[in-house]
Chains A and B, each alone.
Chain A
Amino acid sequence: MGLSMLRAPMPARRPSARPKRASAAVLNRGALQLDGREVPLWSGALHYFRTERGHWRRALESLRELGLCMVESYVPWGLHETVDGGFDFGARNPNLDLPAFIDLAGELGLWVFLRPGPHINAELTRFGLPARVLDDPRCQALGRDGQPVVLPAPPRAFPVPSFASHEFRRQSRHWLETFARQVTPKLYPNGPVVLLQVDNEAAFYFRDHAYDQDYHPDAIEAYRAFVKQRHGSLEQVRARYALESLESWDALQPPQRFDAVDAQGLVRHLDWSWFQQSLVQDALSDQVSVLRRALGRQVPLVHNLPMGDAALPHSIRAVQSTLDAVGLDYYHAGRSVTPIRDRTLRLASASALPFAPELGVGAPPWFGPRRDRDALFIALCACAFGLRGMNLYMAVDRDRWFGAPIAADGGPRSAAEPWRRLLSALRALRFHSLERRTEIALQLPREYAHLARVTHALGSLSPNLFGLAGLPLGATSLAERFGFAEDIQRRWAPVLDAWMARLQNAGLPFALVDSDAPLPAGTRVLIAPCYELADATRVAELQRFVDAGGQLLYGPQRPSLDGVLAPLDAPALGGAAQRLDDPALQAASIDAWLGEAALQRPFLASPAPVFSSVHVDADGEPRVVFLIQPMPGFVEAQVALPRALELRDVLTDQRFAGEHTATVPMVGPGCRMLEVCEPQTDSSPPSGAEP
């Protein structure tokens, strides 16, 4: 086990906003920094274009009274563009007066977060894009049969645009420049606009199976350039793809279906999936450049990835490469903790600011029933695992939505009160500035995610859909070994799931880290699935971790081939490969970490499966403990206290105190956000006090 290695903590490598030139608004330390003023991202969505203009003021006031400091809205290209090719920003339809809406928000003391697309979805017909653009064959993404890729979204199926299409990019550029002309005078410090988002849920419009798209000529041209850059010469491509007959770059065609039968055959398919990541990166980068140029002033730019994003070709980190931060959307159904945990942990380690640009409060009608308390549960759970900002989507009700805490006429609904309490607590505790410390990290190898994706056996029934249902990556993959000892694509993710279940039950906090994201500061143990095939960069990072004194658990194989199936120099990796799926290894490792290594379990909760998640301030002082009962049923949870303390439920104001433990009643599935307080000195006995 090599416990001595555990004594040297890893050097800190924390994700942070990329350094920018001196500017008025930057994202940093969990918040927007506005010339010394800190503005956390507690925001709420109000669609000015759908809310009667006469209701704007009341709705914004209600939003502010909810405890939100920022209003968010999409800006729909398809509604602002008029049939004659012009744009209406309120001259004809007063509901489209974006500048007036921004001014009103500023007058009421709210900051403004705008999302101009070009794609916005927003449950608008054709996702807010103009019909003329979608109907233009030059703009359409193409399937392998050369036909447009159609998304059957209500209330009308439509052909989706191509991320690669030069014409679509040209049209988008024109829209973004038009938008910028309206907004530039309103940017901070001249106005209240402090945050912008480019595009929306860049996920190939949910037609994201590896072979769904894009076979547009511009995409194929970009694919050839990608392969050329990746492999260098045509000779290399011939050898690595086993395509001896390939005569020129122009003859290189992307794969149209998964047809690999051996390891060598995988290279071409993995490349296709990596290319799709670069395609999204490039498309977003293009939009970022346009906006930065057109705005002429620094304003943080962000993006959001949809539910099921782990099955996409692009990672959070990759998307963030040209942006200030990337967030994830939360629309979980029911009360399952695990999907919220996994999603938030990945986000917390990868994003410069882990926030939810859309935390679903309510939903579109076709999402099925959702109760008010479910949305609150999702918000609490996400905060428990490290979410530091959220946009309540929707805060104000509107067409094709149900369940917002503020009605369409601007009046608060009864569901608003718990949100007001939560937001009040988040503000008072400066929750955006707290941190959840971990010493154990589990790595999600990106190359295995790509392998699971290309071997997905259900075609257009996207792996994304199965991810939404809570299945691990690879659950839908082919049961083929391709000459390896195991079917890697189906094996690696359940191994991590098993570890997480054990660590959670043991009360050991952990991080979940995409392999292209940095390890959290203080990581002492890293668990990394490795098989014969492994990305060379990842293996080098693992080696660096070991060299710096960290303990690495890897296996079941020592990597011997890199991502293009070229031999890998045998890495030392601090010891032998192990069967990470062996329950005995898992149990023994955890015993050792709790024993000699003395990994921290602050505010340990019992009985399992109840567990806690602790958030500390910059001085390491615990400020908030989340207590989570993931299973149905009532339990009296015991929380170990480092000294005499009181835990206050920020929603109910119940107090639970003790010298060494506090007893907290939990109804599951449920989550309590407990403020850590000094014990009250008055004579009234707190609820849940020790006998």
Chain B
Amino acid sequence: MISDDIYFGGFDAESWSTLLGLLGLGRREARGAIVIVERDDGTAAAALHTLTGAIACEDYSGRQALDALCARHDAERALVIKLGAPETLTERLTHELPRDADYFTQWLAMLGVLRAGQREGLWTIHPARRPLPLPRPATVSAALDRVLPDGHAWLVCIWEGDQLCTAAALRRMHGCIDMLVGPDAILDWTGPLGGDFRRDHRALAGAVRRALAPLHMGVFAQRSTLEALLANPAPGAWAAAIAVRDVIIDPAPPYVAVAAGADVARAAVQRARDLFGDLELLSLVEPTASFLRRQIGSLGSVTETLGFNPLQVLAERLSRRD
């Protein structure tokens, strides 16, 4: 799913950092974590805080004490690893790594080894996090066929005032993601822009279509609009932004229409709850529910194939601003 020859380019430091910032990537844990290396008898062989260094561990009394330990050292969480577990997991990985597979598949294999180690108790994280199910490579590939069909591209363009502040075009070709290009390259293809994203988006989409591949989805918006939507995704806000063209999605694949519809439904339910409590909710949302039922086949197939709802996971990821 990721080409050996993947091309990445066309970003300056600001455009790449802005893009990652919008996606919520690159943030650091403010308080750090504690790492305990635990012997088989449950005592600690070593302990450290990821921000300050070694910490005393002679009085470590087992995993039931992790809450107190985190509080004492002002740590966000604790990671407990059995002594020798990293070596064991590394060797298992070497055995199980599909050498000829692509990088994504190799990473799934690595995550599989780690997950198995967690189930065996070789390592644990506290407080426990809800683990995402690990799909098989074939299922991810099938889901990707729907999200970004082969021979197509995604385009995201973000403006700050009349300037394009970041952009990214992602292409899938011969089954693999093979290009991620930034604003430098995209602007080379379009030439000078007018400065109004509601008009410029057609030129951008057309240029990427000609240079890379037919677009499967294009997202165009002002940075401030997008940041506000990501920071405070109030019910209906996305749908409203799309309706008034504060966010332009063009082309919009079925799953985006479904997500927008779901957002309308969520807003309606919230509004109804505010006005009427929980009475007659179903009748109030019936028009939206009917729409969703018509579209659900598309969303359902993605969710069924993956084993989880990617939009839900994405929404959670994007709204996690802590």
Q: Which residues of A contact B (CB under 8 A)?
A: 125, 143-145, 147-150, 152, 154-157, 211-212, 257, 334, 362, 365, 368-372, 375, 397-404, 407-409, 413, 415, 457-461, 466, 469-472, 474-480, 490, 494
Contact = CB atoms under 8 A, between A and B. Distances in A.
A457 B9 contact: no
A401 B185 CA distance: 13
B16 A475 contact: no
B45 interface: yes
A403 B8 CA distance: 12
Contacts of B54: 474-477, 479, 490, 494
B179 to A, nearest CB: 10
Contacts of B28: 334
Contact of B87 (A257, A370, A400, A407): A257
Given A145-B91, A408-B184, A400 B53 contact: no
Nearest to A461: B86
Contacts of B106: 152, 156-157
B interface secondary structure, majority: mixed
B316 interface: no
B140 interface: no
Contacts of A147: 91, 94-95
Count chain A CB atoms within 10 A of each CB in B2, B14, B102 and give the residue with the most.
Answer: B14
A413 B12 contact: yes
B45 A457 contact: yes
A150 B94 contact: yes
Contacts of A145: 91, 94
A155 B3 contact: yes
B6 interface: yes
Interface string B62-105: 00000000000000000001011111011101110101001100
Given A402-B16, A469-B50, A155 B2 contact: yes
A532 B308 CA distance: 58
Given A125-B4, A365-B16, A457-B37, A471 B53 contact: yes
A369 B47 contact: no
B44 interface: yes
B4 A409 contact: no
A475 B48 contact: yes
B188 interface: yes
Contacts of B21: 369
11 contacts: A143-B90, A147-B91, A148-B94, A211-B87, A362-B12, A371-B14, A397-B184, A399-B8, A402-B12, A459-B87, A475-B53
Nearest to A494: B53
A437 to B, nearest CB: 31
A125 B5 contact: yes
Contacts of B7: 399-400
B309 interface: no
B87 A362 contact: no
Interface of B: 2-17, 20-21, 25-26, 28, 35, 37, 44-48, 50-54, 56-58, 81, 83-87, 89-91, 93-95, 97, 99, 102-103, 106-107, 110, 180, 182, 184, 188
A660 B106 CA distance: 64
A457 B57 CA distance: 13
B57 A403 contact: no
A490 B46 CA distance: 10
Contacts of B84: 257, 459
B27 to A, nearest CB: 9
Identify the 10 closest CB pairs spanning chains A and B, nearest first: A459-B86, A403-B13, A369-B17, A457-B46, A402-B11, A475-B53, A459-B87, A402-B16, A460-B90, A457-B37
A479 B179 CA distance: 47
B9 A372 contact: no
Nearest to B104: A155
A626 B87 CA distance: 45
B16 to A, nearest CB: 4
B55 to A, nearest CB: 9
A477 B48 CA distance: 9
Given A211-B87, A471-B52, 4 more contacts: A375-B13, A407-B184, A461-B86, A479-B47
Nearest to A212: B90
A518 B15 CA distance: 45
Query: In this complex, which of A211, A397, A479 has the most chain B Cβ atoms within 10 angstroms of its Cβ?
Result: A479
A150 B7 CA distance: 23
A149 B110 CA distance: 14
A375 B10 CA distance: 18
Contacts of B86: 458-461
Nearest to B103: A155
A257 to B, nearest CB: 7
Given A400-B9, A458-B35, A156 B4 contact: yes
A471 B50 contact: yes
B115 to A, nearest CB: 16
A443 to B, nearest CB: 20
B285 to A, nearest CB: 40
B2 to A, nearest CB: 6
Nearest to A50: B9
Contacts of A459: 84-87, 90
B58 A479 contact: yes
Nearest to A470: B51
Contacts of B25: 368-369
A415 B184 CA distance: 14
Contact of A372 (B13, B26, B87, B89): B13
Given A371-B14, A372-B14, A157 B97 contact: yes
Contact of A401 (B9, B46, B52): B9
Nearest to A398: B9
Nearest to B13: A403
B103 A154 contact: yes
Contacts of B3: 155
Contact of A362 (B13, B47, B180): B13
Given A415-B12, A459-B87, A469-B50, A479 B2 contact: no
B17 A370 contact: yes
A399 to B, nearest CB: 5
A286 B28 CA distance: 42
A415 B25 CA distance: 23
Nearest to B16: A402
Contacts of A398: 9
A682 B110 CA distance: 68
Contacts of A257: 84, 87
Contacts of B35: 458, 476
B38 to A, nearest CB: 10
Contacts of A476: 35, 46, 48, 54
Given A459-B87, A479-B47, A403 B12 contact: yes
Nearest to A405: B12
A212 B110 CA distance: 17
Contacts of A480: 45
A407 B185 CA distance: 10
Contacts of B14: 371-372, 415
B12 A399 contact: no
A478 B10 CA distance: 45
B103 to A, nearest CB: 5
